[in-house]
Amino acid sequence: MSRLIYVMGASGVGKDSLLRELARRRPDAMVAHRYITRASGGAENCIELSREAFHWRREQGLFCLSWRAHGLDYGVGIEIDAWLAAGHTVVLNGSRRALETARERFGELLVPLLVVADAEVLRRRLIARGRETPAEIEARLARSCEKETLSDIAQIDNGGELARGVDSLESWLDAPDAPENTR
């Protein structure tokens, strides 16, 4: 059965690492890449585009979903529609900010999943990543701790070893009672 696993979580929670390892372990899970208007440094499953190229692609209808966060543009290609139409499970590194838009776009196919880790783990990972200043890191941590309306969404903890986080993700994906749509 087709479903779009829409993975969300705070910066530094390890979404890209989880999805990279999931793709390695599970060729049956179609892990979608994103288009982003910044360099990834090779750590993400994404294609870097200039702002102009990104906006042109969006105007041409080449994204099935796009959003703006932290001053950057993010998009997901329309190939996801073909994968879903063919009956595949697609896994996407999404955004909490774009969840409602994704729900509107994909309806019953969308299954949101929140990846969590405690604040100290996030801080260490963000510092090690080296993209933000200490002030930007603290601002990200403050945002990740804000009360959110995501309590009804399934969660997995990725605060420990990556292998354990991926095991949790796989178990959640394979559970016979895995939700087809959580709202």
Determine the Cα–Cα distance for residues 95 and 175; give it in Å rounded to an integer. Answer: 24
The predicted-structure confidence for 19-77, as pLDDT tens digits, reads as follows 999 999 998 889 999 999 987 666 667 789 999 999 999 999 999 999 998 789 999 99
Region of 43 (left: φ > 0; alpha: ψ -120 to 50; beta: rest) is: alpha
pTM score of the predicted model:
0.84
- The answer to which of 21-30, 85-94, 106-115, 123-132 has the lowest mean pLDDT is 123-132
Tens-place pLDDT, residues 7-34: 999 888 889 899 999 999 998 889 999 9
The more confidently predicted of residues 134 and 157 is: 157
Give me the residue spans of the domains in the chain. 3-172
Written as six digits, the tokens of 41 are 């440094």
The reply to whether CATH 3.90.1510.10 applies to domain 3-172 is: no
